[in-house]
Amino acid sequence: MSFAGINYVAVVVAAVAGFFAGALWYGALGRHWAAALGKSRDDLKPTPGPFITSAVALLVMAYVLAGTIGHLGAVTWSNGAIAGAMLWAGFVITSLAVNYAFQGARRVLVLIDGGHWLIVLVLMGLIIGTIGL
């Protein structure tokens, strides 16, 4: 099932995997993340809005990553992982670092959030590269 070279099954599987990776990451580091924000876990009551935003953003991210991997040539698990890591290094961690620096956020917040997005993008790249376009 593909359109213009994008395998939508791979995109959805990658987005779902990214969502669950985030759940595991922040499940393990949630206390440290909240502390870096200067909040307690009780201050951060879950509501549906951020989860819906996350799901939509992950679908868009997986779609764009699939398109990028497709433009690299050979669609392989290694090219997928490399593409995810390169996009993270070039766009995600740099954006987080700049935004958090101007916000005066604690550096540990960059590490926690940046680590999350590195895992998500590499995992998505592995999945998209393995399933193929």
41-93 residue pLDDT tens: 778 888 999 999 999 999 999 999 999 999 888 889 999 999 999 999 999 99
Residue 54 half-sphere exposure, CB side, CA atoms within 13 Å?
A: 17
Cβ contacts of residue 67 below 8 Å, gap of 6+?
5, 6
pTM over 0.75: yes
Kindly indicate the confidence band of residue 132, based on its pLDDT and cuts at 50, 70 and 90. Answer: confident
Ramachandran angles phi, psi of 96, nearest 5°: -60, -45
Please say if the pLDDT value at position 2 is more than 60.
no
Average confidence score pLDDT of the chain: 93
d(CA 110, CA 68): 25
Please say if the pLDDT value at position 1 is more than 90.
no
Q: Point out the least confidently predicted range of 2-16, 26-40, 70-84, 114-128.
A: 2-16
Averaged pLDDT for residues 87-109: 97
Please say if the pLDDT value at position 36 is more than 70.
yes
pLDDT value of residue 133: 65
Q: Which amino acid is at 79?
A: N
